[in-house]
Amino acid sequence: MHLSRRTFFALAGLGAVGLAGCSNRLPAVDVTAPGFGDGASGTINVWCRSETQDGIQTMVEAFHQAQDRIRIRLTPIPAGQYVTKLATAIRGSRPPDLVDIDDINSALFFYRDVFSDITPLVDELPYKGQLSPGHLGLATREDRYYGVPFLGDFSVLFCNSELFDRAGVDLEETTGSFDGYLEASRAISALGEDISGWLYPGNATGALGFTVQPHVWAADSQLMAGDVGDQQGDILGNEPLRRTLEMMRTMWTEGLVPSGSYADDASRWYADFVDGRIGMLPCSYGSVVPNASEELLAKTEVRLLAGPDGGQAFFTGGDNFSLPNGSSNPSAAWEFVRFCLELEQQQNLPAGGFAPIRGDAATEQFAEQYPLMVPPLESIDAGYAPRTLSYSRLFNQSDGPWLEIFRRAVFDGEIDAALEEGQDGFDTVLEQGDA
């Protein structure tokens, strides 16, 4: 299925601000020009997500201190408005010079030819092989790069080692498969005192997409099949997905998750864990660590999320950098990008709650300072995020098929019906090409 630019943005709710015809008027950046990315000057306009502003603001300040030729004008945009505002700016031929965009939304733009091909620049990076492949995959089309990773927001499993010890279960042995998860959850929940072995926010579709999908990926399966623009759901007959839902159902029926999980919208996702009442919590570093006490962090360990019988995976959320066509100062913008990707800057990201996107950031000194950030960096190839033009409709909107699959299977116990209707729901959204 081929979508015209006008059709794509109309379906995405952006018909009034669509890009039809605009990319032809905005010149692509010539990244092969002599001296590109070195010795530039002037001001660059950078858009970022307001949710990740802290991650980039410190880099802006450090960049200003490191040189006096280039100044950054940073504009934070709320996540819910980012796609619409960027589409509007492009349609009006007034794009920013550089965009710091949610990596899952990168394809919405470069599949419509409005981000410049920066393949030669990425290929020249001496640490290219250390970059998060999950992020980079979301900026790639036909082996060409239209963006580069910037910062990470990874889903991992936080474990309260004290509760494991009290329950008499080995953390290492029980966090590598579903049988182990259930064994540990049962033992920890049996401690009583309002303690639960596991936690999931059962009414928060985005959080469930972030933390449940990796169990399926760890078993070398996905929830979609086909190329972007011609995708179908891979729901019905997906055995790793079925087993994941069955495990989550068992957690519910046996009372291994808090009773409030049914209505939990993730507004205080981490609260019970930081209060010491949860054995295992799939979540992000930025949600748990800044809100936990030093005492709790000292007895917290991180593992990657496992599949039914082993394997490991995590969701590579976070941001990519891209140069829009029509950027007025792209050389200076790329100089800033390179600065942000340097090891020193990357290793400072956890202070703001975000992860480096370079596997080589996990040095011995880094591990001493940020031990809970190390596991995904040491297994950076286990990170993944699905490339589709329909992610938001599938996984982030409350009326999308993902939340219905989870709730019907886990809380109602209708797994077969959930998978059958989920297949239809995924296919419908993907056929529409809606974002």
pLDDT digit string, tens, across residues 289-334: 999 999 999 999 999 999 999 999 999 999 999 999 999 999 999 9
- Joined together, the tokens standing for residue 435 give 């974002």
The Cα–Cα gap between 339 and 124 comes to 14
- Joined together, the tokens standing for residue 377 give 């960096």
Domains annotated for the chain, with CATH where assigned, are 5-153+317-384 (3.40.190.10), 154-316+389-432 (3.40.190.10)
Question: Is the separation of the CB atoms in 111 and 388 below 8 Å?
Answer: no
CA distances from 288 to 272, 292, 319 (A): 10, 6, 19
DSSP string of 85-141, one letter each residue: HHHHHHHTT---SEEEEEGGGHHHHHTTT-B---HHHHHH-TTGGGB-HHHHHTTEE
Question: Is the separation of the CB atoms in 355 and 374 below 8 Å?
Answer: no
pLDDT digits (tens, 9 = 90+) for 325-366: 999 999 999 999 999 999 999 999 999 999 999 999 999 999
- Joined together, the tokens standing for residue 76 give 């934070």
pLDDT digits (tens, 9 = 90+) for 116-142: 999 999 999 999 999 999 999 999 999
The DSSP H or E segment spanning 197 is: strand 196-198
The count of residues in the chain is 435
Question: Average pLDDT, whole number, for the chain?
Answer: 93
pLDDT the model gives residue 13: 39
Residue ranges with strand state E in 67-136: 70-77, 98-102
Question: Is the separation of the CB atoms in 69 and 39 below 8 Å?
Answer: yes
**In the structure, what pLDDT confidence band is assigned to residue 25 with cuts at 50, 70 and 90?**
confident
pLDDT the model gives residue 433: 74
Question: Is the separation of the CB atoms in 83 and 55 below 8 Å?
Answer: no
The Cα–Cα gap between 197 and 219 comes to 23
pLDDT the model gives residue 229: 86
CB atoms within 10 A of CB 286: 24
CA distances from 142 to 84, 133, 138 (A): 26, 15, 12
Query: For 317, left (φ over 0), alpha (ψ -120 to 50), or beta?
Result: beta
CA distances from 65 to 71, 338, 354 (A): 10, 15, 22
The Cα–Cα gap between 246 and 413 comes to 9
pLDDT digits (tens, 9 = 90+) for 69-101: 999 999 999 999 999 999 999 999 999 999 999
Query: For 162, left (φ over 0), alpha (ψ -120 to 50), or beta?
Result: alpha
pLDDT the model gives residue 268: 86
CA atoms in the 13 A half-sphere facing the CB of 10: 7
CA atoms in the 13 A half-sphere facing the CB of 347: 15
135's CB contacts (< 8 A; 6+ apart) are 103, 149, 150, 152, 316, 318, 320, 357, 383, 385
CA distances from 198 to 188, 189, 410 (A): 9, 8, 14
pLDDT the model gives residue 22: 43
Nearest to 12 by CA among 143, 111, 131, 136: 111
Residue ranges with strand state E in 261-329: 278-284, 300-303, 305-307, 310-322
Q: Is 348 helix (H, G, I), strand (E, B) or coil?
A: coil
**In the structure, what pLDDT confidence band is assigned to residue 17 with cuts at 50, 70 and 90?**
very low
The alpha carbon of 325 is separated from its chain's Cα centroid by a whole number of angstroms, namely 25
The Cα–Cα gap between 142 and 138 comes to 12
The Cα–Cα gap between 367 and 147 comes to 28
Residue 321 pairs with which residues in a beta bridge? 100, 148
